[in-house]
Amino acid sequence: MSNNLVPVITAPTCLFAVEAGISDLSLVRRAGGTLGNGPHYWVVTAIDRNNGESARSNEVSFVAGGGYNSVDLTWTAIPGANGHNIYRTEVSGLYGAYSLVGGTGAAYYYLLL
């Protein structure tokens, strides 16, 4: 008798409803800082207890330069979130593992309130 069982691998699922993604991400530019001159774009996701990731937030952006090379990002926390991922890129809409802040080996400082 042959064994016809096929292993099934299930990825962690996100416990957030898609509509529960962050929708009120906002940005305030600040004087000083170390962001390179030029355009920068951010989105934020929430992480659940199974490491599932919510839908991306709205995108915010600004053009660094003229002494303004720092930003404050704010959003309303999603109840039950275990954490957040902050993504930054220099091309609007182009986000992936490479744009996860801190994932590139460079140091970025964010104060989470």
Between residues 34 and 108, which one has the greater pLDDT? 34
Tell me the CB-side half-sphere exposure of residue 98, using CA atoms within 13 A.
Answer: 5
Tell me the two tokens of residue 96. Answer: 């992936």
Between residues 77 and 16, which one has the greater pLDDT? 77
Burial of 22 (0-12, 13-18, 19+ CB in 10 A): buried
- C-alpha span between 13 and 50 (Å, rounded): 7
Report the pLDDT value the prediction gives residue 1, as an integer from 0 to 100: 46
Average pLDDT over residues 96-113: 55
The pLDDT-based confidence of 66 (bands split at 50, 70, 90) is very high
